[in-house]
Amino acid sequence: MNQQITPESTGVEKKLRILSGIQPSGTPTLGNYIGAMRNWKLLADEYDCLYMIADLHSITVRQDPSKLRQQSIQLFALLLAIGLDPEKNVLFFQSHVPQHTQLSWVLNCFTYMGEMSRMTQFKDKSAKHSDNINCGLFTYPVLMASDILLYQANLVPVGADQTQHLEICRDIATRFNGIYGNVFTVPEGYYPKFGARVMSLQDPARKMSKSDPDDCFISMLDSADNIRRKIKRAVTDSDAEIRFDPENKPGVSNLLAIQSALTGDSLDSVVSSYEGKGYGVLKSTLTDVIINTLSPIQNEFNRYMNDRAYLENVWRNGADHASYLANKTLSKVMKKVGFIAK
Ligand code: TRP
């Protein structure tokens, strides 16, 4: 038998493929780390993984170019710093792989205005940036669908805020396949086993977000002093009992959940470790846990940031690999819709 050796056929059995993306808009928070990024590392052996910095998506709201550049490089270095091995994962910048925008144009012609105007994120973002409701913001989910469909991804790890976009991606793929035959794999959402939802430190009814004021979140690059200060100021409540009860004690429960997520200890055992103790002990213990988690990542981060040549090498290889895979899908699509081969 003549087996062709290609970058994606090195395993005996074909693994399921995972693709996810993260926007370079600010430094990721502890919430992004717990809810998304750290799970990515656990998937590398079982799946064929591609992770992309979604820089094209980030200009749907106005960005300062030098900040965008800085944040993009930092985010790339952070992916390596959390332990994503570039030999096992394809790590790349979306803007380095032109097939994303090419496929996006085609898929725009298979997506309806009505579908896009129903997207809750579009409604939210256009309310927030009412001076800049641009067409890119409107068709953002089509670009995201292109990111996923280009690689024939089977599974897409996404947070709750992206499930509607994943649903529309499935609709677009199914519609296209219905017209042209089986061109795209219709992807499923991937919901990690260890996904705790981390809430704001000041308003624990809301998700921790980097667009909130600084003391609401912990950034992955916060100094130990900042972490200590922010946890100290985190909202609790006036009855001094430490128990997990998100409804009545959202602030304390959030702190307990963070500790459980970072240590891997069950919530029950975290709670019982505080029997007879007060909020002060909870806060100082949790502060140590967070610092112990983030400081090795920050050391690695600094090492990568000081080795620009290495970073460039990794992102170029990532772009080449991604582009090779993307081209296969794109050329099929171009042929199917009736474009002339070059
Ligand atoms: N839109 C996603 C977010 O803001 C990022 C993203 C872009 C993405 N393309 C993707 C996520 C493809 C998953 C798959 O979080």
Which residue's CA is minimally distant from atom 15 of ligand 1?
A: 22
What's the CA-to-centroid distance between 57 and ligand 1, angstroms? 8
Q: How many angstroms is it from 158 CA to the middle of ligand 1?
A: 7
Told to judge if 125 belongs to the known catalytic residues of this protein, a careful annotator would answer yes
Backbone dihedral angles phi then psi of residue 52, each to the nearest 5 degrees: -125, 140
pLDDT at 11 over 90: no
Q: Enter the pTM of the model.
A: 0.92
Domain 7-195+308-337 and domain 214-302 have a common topology: no
Provide the percentage of residues in the chain whose pLDDT is more than 90. 87
Residue 14 vs residue 58, higher pLDDT: 58
Residue 13 has pLDDT above 80, yes or no: no
Q: pLDDT digit string (tens) for 57-107?
A: 999 999 999 999 999 999 999 999 999 999 999 999 999 999 999 999 999
Spatial separation of the C-alpha atoms in residues 287 and 225, rounded to whole Å: 10
**Beta strands 155-157 and 89-93, pairing class:** unpaired
**Is 336 labeled as catalytic in the residue annotation?**
no
21 lines ligand 1 (CB under 6 A): yes
Which ligand 1 atom is the nearest neighbour of the CA of 153?
14
Q: Report the chain's mean pLDDT, rounded to a whole number.
A: 94
Answer whether residue 9 shows pLDDT above 60.
no
Q: Does residue 145 carry a pLDDT above 80?
A: yes
Q: What are phi and psi of 110, to 5 degrees?
A: -120, 20
CATH architecture under which domain 7-195+308-337 falls: 3-Layer(aba) Sandwich (3.40)
Residue 192: what pLDDT? 74
Tokens encoding 134 = 């641009």
Assigned CATH class of 214-302: mainly alpha
Q: Where are the domains of the chain?
A: 7-195+308-337, 214-302
Contact 143, 104 (CB under 8 A): yes
The average pLDDT across 135-154 equals 98
